[in-house]
Amino acid sequence: MHSIYDWFRRHRFAVDFVLMAVLWLTVMPFSLMNSGPTEDAGLHTAGGIIFSTALVFPLAWRRTRTVLAGFLIAGVAILQWALAVQPMPADVAVPLIVYALAAFGPRWASLGGLALALIGSIMLVTRFFYNLTSTSLADLPYGAVLILVVWVFILFSWTAGDLTRTKRLREQALEDRAHRLEIEAQHERELAANDERAHIAREMHDIVAHSLSVIITQADGARYAAVADPGIAPATLATIAETGRSSLQEMRRLLGVLRGDADASMRPLPGLVDLDELLLGIRAAGLPISYDVTGEARRMLPAGAELTAYRVVQEGLTNVMKHAGPNVMAAVALNWTARGLEVSVTDDGRGASASFADTGPIPAYDVKTPAAPDLADAGGNGLRGMAERVKLYDGTLAAGPIPGGGFGITAFIPYTET
Give me the pLDDT at residue 200, please.
65
Residue 209 belongs to a domain? no
Section 31-55 average pLDDT: 66
202 within some domain? no
For residues 70 and 58, what is the distance between their CA atoms, to the nearest angstrom? 8
Per the domain annotation, does 295 fall within a domain? yes
**Helix 107-128 crosses helix 66-82 at what angle (to 10 degrees)?**
20
Same domain, 21 and 153: yes
pLDDT band (50, 70, 90) for residue 201 = low
pLDDT category at 98 given cuts 50, 70, 90 is: very high
- Could you tell me where the DSSP H helices lie in 83-139? 93-104, 107-128
pLDDT band for position 291 (50/70/90)? very high
CATH of the domain at 339: 3.30.565.10
- Residue 177 shares a structural domain with residue 294: no
Domain boundary among 158, 182, 206: 182
Looking at 15-29, 197-211, 314-328, which range is the least confident one? 197-211
Taking the C-alpha atoms of 243, 249, 251 and 256 in order, what is their torsion angle to the nearest 10 degrees? 180
* Segment 330-356 mean pLDDT: 81
Average per-residue pLDDT in the chain? 77
The pLDDT value given to residue 387 = 84
177 and 295 share a domain?
no
Pick the closest to residue 253 from 245, 236, 242, 265 (CA basis). Answer: 265
Beta strands at 330-336 and 289-294: parallel, antiparallel or unpaired: parallel
Residue 371 has pLDDT above 80, yes or no: no
Last residue of a domain, one of 182, 215, 241: 182
Residue 337 carries which side chain, given as an amino acid letter?
A: T
Establish if 38 belongs to a structural domain.
yes
Report pLDDT for 369.
35
Q: What local confidence, expressed as pLDDT, does residue 139 receive?
A: 59
User: Quick one: pLDDT band at residue 49, thresholds 50, 70, 90?
Assistant: confident
Q: Lowest-confidence range among 75-84, 235-244, 318-327, 364-373?
A: 364-373
Verify that 156 and 295 share a domain, yes or no.
no
Q: Is residue 252 part of a domain?
A: no
Which of 156, 182, 208 finishes a domain?
182
Does 30 share its domain with 144?
yes
The pLDDT value recorded for residue 358 is: 38
Share of the chain above pLDDT 70, in %: 71
The arithmetic mean of pLDDT across residues 275-290, rounded, is 85
Q: Give ∠ CA 370-335-349 in degrees, rounded to 5.
A: 70
Both 301 and 161 in a single domain?
no
- Using alpha carbons, select from 109, 110, 45, 51 the residue that is nearest to residue 83: 51
At 321, is the pLDDT very low, low, confident or very high (cuts 50, 70, 90)?
Answer: confident
Residue 377 forms part of a structural domain: yes
What digits encode the pLDDT tens for the residues 2-12?
577 677 777 78
Radius of gyration of the chain, Cα coordinates, nearest whole angstrom: 44
Establish if 212 belongs to a structural domain: no
Q: Which of 362, 344, 345 is nearest to 353 (CA)?
A: 362
In terms of residue numbers, what domain contains 328? Answer: 287-418
Average pLDDT of 286-291? 88
The pLDDT value given to residue 388: 79
On whether the CB atoms of residues 390 and 309 are closer than 8 A, the answer is: no
DSSP letters, 238-280, are: HHHHHHHHHHHHHHHHHHHHHHT-HHHHTSPPP-GGGHHHHHH
Most confident of 171-180, 204-213, 242-251: 171-180
User: Is 264's pLDDT higher than 50?
Assistant: no
More confident site: 165 or 226: 165
In the predicted structure, residue 156 carries a pLDDT above the cut 90: yes
Domain assignment present for residue 130? The answer is yes
> Helices 140-228 and 381-392 sit at what angle, rounded to 10 degrees?
130
Q: How far apart are CA 212 and CA 221, in angstroms?
A: 14
- Among positive and negative, which fits the CA dihedral 74, 77, 83, 84? negative
- Shared-domain flag, residues 176 and 27: yes
Domain count within the chain:
2
Q: How many CB atoms lie within 10 A of CB 96?
A: 22
Region for 231 from its dihedrals, namely left if φ exceeds 0, alpha if ψ lies in -120 to 50, beta otherwise: alpha
Q: Is the pLDDT at 117 greater than 80, yes or no?
A: yes
